Structure 1
């Protein structure tokens, strides 16, 4: 997960965005010839005889109404055979906390229990850590399932960790088994936008969206005060988002306020559906002991202003908090209900199931 304490000092510095270059075009062009083929959605034709067409449609509608049935509507979506009924789950992320939200990245195939998810509508899991059968159970139970994808760093537990060592950019504070990765490298971009995505879709063709983590790598690169590298990082990350958009996969970005703010400024906010922000009200005091406290006022207000900008830009807003304090839980719930924000409160840093 993107840890809220990582790199907060960068926020107070003005970002040197410079003038737009053609870097993004270069990123796209390098990958253009090697993208996996996608099924054609067909060509729409304009009606030649509009009155006749309308008449035929009306007759068809009346026919099905009189027979008391409705035609099956099938849609081509990533060649999975999804029906329109299933596709409706991904049309919109709810703007109000009516549908309960949960983030369960600490759950693997051994700790999986379908009954533990029954109180949640929208759930985030690590598809790489669950079996295809377990994922099918989640969909069958009616859950909206988002898959976690780590874009800006790599965990040592991943089978591809050693493959990208030459692109590592240093250790990740508070997470000794994780390192930052240089997202400007073409090989890494191709991996996360194609190969890793294919792994996800092969295991779970019904996945409803992606929960993307560690786009804060943009802030880390920006901190180097190199305009070219900062621009290259932005171009690389937006190119990755465009690939997911082509797959019609809604995207939530975890953290990464500097990057999301730039998306808003650049008019590219349509590349994502929403944002998830950790520790707005709470604070992790000890990562090993599940020790939590309240967020300081300055940090809290910074986050709240950012989330307000996101909502005004048309994004769905999600909060992920860590606390065992019942009064703080109530405060978070009341705030989110008032502002129509989704929220999840975990009692464990690793985002396993709650003890309750």
Structure 2
């Protein structure tokens, strides 16, 4: 009996490992989001043409070495919220608007604040450019969904227009409410070149730290949104979390049919 149980366990483990290997084989190797990865591991990334990285982890020489591998490197830039581990946290904590659900170290930011705008554009943005990054990966324009006020919309627009002076490719991560308004007002392409949408096909259970499938209703909403972005001439990327083999097949078909690129992250930390 014990021998039989061991055989069953070995078979199950083998199937799990096979699923992981198959998932890696199926993955779109064009694009990967690794903002939680260490510098040491980041420098070893060889399987992707486009990488999204946390810019504070890398210097100019690091980016040059990645470019020598024919990589395009996009810098993560959080314009809509404030993390408590950033060196400028104490300076701006009084300008926050509220806590960020599921992210205990983060707070929604009043993007209408001029000093915040200057920090993003003239300090953080310039540092990214000086290091040689190819583009910006902009996060948390969802602040406009959380606080749908004109001053918040206008603040985001001012920041995005401000960094355009650097002439780098700009991708908006999430922020569908903001992006939809920009498209409707015909100003989207003045400020960004593409969108990345997380969890079109997958879902995240933050409490139990598990990944699942998106409901059909929610998936259809994002599919319509991404079609709207595509029709406006924006490039489209997807980031999914812990997708199983069947879901990966759906993602692959969908992205292939639409000319999109996608990345299936193994964990929420994007390591």
Q: TM-score, normalised by structure 1?
A: 0.66
**What is the aligned counterpart of 1:168 among 88, 96, 104?**
96
Q: 3-state SS of the aligned residue for 1:252? A: strand
Runs of 4+ in 1 over 6 A off after TM superposition: none
Counterpart-to-counterpart distance in 2, 1:213 and 1:157? 16
CA contact (8 A) 2:52 2:74 kept: yes
Q: 3-state SS of the aligned residue for 1:314? A: coil
Report the structure, 1 or 2, having the larger helix content: 2
How many residue pairs end up in the alignment?
244
5+ long unaligned stretches in structure 2: 1-26
Equivalent positions of 1:1-356 (< 5 A) are: 100-109=30-39, 111-115=40-44, 117-202=45-130, 204=131, 206-222=132-148, 230-270=149-189, 271-286=191-206, 289=209, 291-352=210-271
* Distance change in 2, residues 1:187/1:304 (3 Å): same
Counterpart-to-counterpart distance in 2, 1:272 and 1:315? 8
Deviation at 1:287, TM superposition (A): 6.2
Deviation at 1:126, TM superposition (A): 0.8
Q: 3-state SS of the aligned residue for 2:73? A: strand
* Distance change in 2, residues 1:287/1:321 (3 Å): farther
Deviation at 1:113, TM superposition (A): 4.3
Counterpart-to-counterpart distance in 2, 1:346 and 1:287? 18
CA contact (8 A) 2:77 2:136 kept: yes
Deviation at 1:324, TM superposition (A): 4.5
TM-superposition CA deviations, 1:84-138 (whole Å, max 9, x none): xxxxxxxxxxxxx9871100011132x42433x2110111101112233322221
Q: 3-state SS of the aligned residue for 2:105? A: strand
Aligned to 2:18: none
Q: 3-state SS of the aligned residue for 1:343? A: strand
Q: 3-state SS of the aligned residue for 2:126? A: helix
**Aligned-CA RMSD value:** 1.7
CA contact (8 A) 2:74 2:134 kept: yes
5+ long unaligned stretches in structure 1: 1-96, 223-229
Over alpha carbons, which structure has the higher Rg? 1
